[in-house]
Amino acid sequence: MKNLNVLISGASVAGPALAYWLHRHGFNPTIVERAPALRDGGYAVDFRGEAHLSILRRMGLMDQIERARTGTGSMSYVNSAGKPQAKLPADLFAGDVEILRGDLARILYDATEKYTEYVFGDSITSLAEDAQGVTVSFERGAPRRFDLVIGADGLHSNTRRLTFGPEEQFVRHLGVHCAIFTTANHLGLDHTGHAYRTAGRLVAMYSARHNTEAKAVFYFASPLLDLDRRDVARQQAVLIEHFSGNGWQSDRLLQDMRYAPDFYFDSVAQVRMDSWTRGRVALIGDAAYCPSSLSGMGTGLALVGAYVLAGELAAADGNHRIAFARYEDGMREYAAGCQRMGDGVAGLMVPGNRLLAALLNHYYKVMPYLPGKNMAARIARKTAENIALQDYPEPNRRQPGDAALSTAGG
């Protein structure tokens, strides 16, 4: 085996999942994360189909994920008075298992921190590659040498920018911005959610953590806004401009927003790249092939990508040229299918005019009585399962502490 020392940028989902599999195959992962600690909160993410669930089982994480799952059922669209007008099935929104992103990140961290070096509060500033490895400079820490560098740092990937070029070359805005934060479950939602749609806007609430709290979600149609991603005050001001007086729970949630511990705001976008690897650097997850938060595929896609990339490195005995090529070949069609799930969803979620909003609201009312009422859920499941996962070789010599891992399957 060669190229054993691997730096991963990003400690959300894709990064720790990759660290798990790299260590399982005999590599030494290090994760650097810009945030000072794990990020809590965030939206609910889901897994569906055997491809996703089989990886979680092989990682030995299903019991923990089951305990932390949201258990969300169907989602109801309501009118301005809060009266349900239509109900969409749980399978479409929550898949087989739904969990808060922050809870999933914590589970992955706990599963990897004993054998992964985590460096919080720092980020990569430059990458200098030569024939033997990569010299990595950091914002705060001293430069270090690694054999390979993997960008798992999300839609606004710093690794992608340093290696491939400016974000504008690869990130495609879908005409919608979103915000999400934790709030009190003042509607008494019981493992369910309510959504209210008007022209160019959608506001929703769904219960979380066994109904002890709720997530508030805002979507609004807009060209790409030139906002500092760290300027929370300005982001919240933009949200107030778009939703003040919108109806239903909009004003109440805008007031609660000011006290939220985990406010998140961003554009809804996809990442499209001709290649996810260059030299000794590779990208996974949203950094490489973000399908957008509206696709419902991003977290499962990241999980599969981590499994395949680590497995191909192991199968190639660490030869990154062979492994990276096989990773791209194995993931390209699957990632493209997941991205197609995000195409066109923005216009349906947030219709641009009142007539279309009214038509969609009426369609959802009658959808349960139509022959193809479950078609969207079936398409999502088929897309999630559209990959044949290989059984990659396990190393003959395990490192200390691996005994428990060897019983997890795989």
**What tens digit of pLDDT does each residue of 360-404 get?**
665 565 555 445 546 666 777 788 788 889 999 876 544 434 433
> What is the predicted pLDDT for the residue at 399?
42
pLDDT in tens, 79-103: 999 998 877 766 666 677 888 899 9
Residue 408, in any domain of the structure: no
Residue 29, in any domain of the structure: yes
Q: Which domain holds residue 350?
A: 5-403
Residue 409, in any domain of the structure: no
Query: In total, how many domains does the chain have?
Result: 1
Write out the chain in H/E/C secondary structure: CCCCEEEEECCCCHHHHHHHHHHHCCCEEEEEECCCCCCCCCCEEEECHHHHHHHHHHCCCHHHHHHHCCCCCCEEEECCCCCEEEEECHHHHHCCEEEEHHHHHHHHHHHHCCCCEEEECCCEEEEEECCCCEEEEECCCCCEEECEEEECCCCCCHHHHHHHCCHHHCEEEEEEEEEEEEECCCCCCCCCEEEEEECCEEEEEEEECCCCEEEEEEEEECCCCCCCCCCHHHHHHHHHHHHCCCCCCHHHHHHHHCCCCCCEEEEEEEECCCCCEECCEEECCHHHHCCCCCCCCHHHHHHHHHHHHHHHHHHCCCCHHHHHHHHHHHHHHHHHHHHHHHCCHHHHHCCCCHHHHHHHHHHHHHHHHCCCCCHHHHHHHHHHCCCCCCCCCCCCCCCCCCHHHHCCCC
pLDDT in tens, 266-296: 999 999 999 999 999 999 999 999 998 887 7
Across the range 342-367, mean pLDDT stands at 64
Residue 106, in any domain of the structure: yes
Average pLDDT of the chain? 88
Residue 169, in any domain of the structure: yes
Residue 139, in any domain of the structure: yes
Residue 396, in any domain of the structure: yes
Residues 6+ apart with CB under 8 A from 208: 44, 70, 100, 182, 185, 214, 215
Residue 410, in any domain of the structure: no
pLDDT in tens, 114-156: 999 999 999 999 999 999 999 999 999 999 999 999 999 999 9
Domain of residue 204, CATH code: 3.50.50.60
At 410, the pLDDT band (50, 70, 90 cuts) reads very low
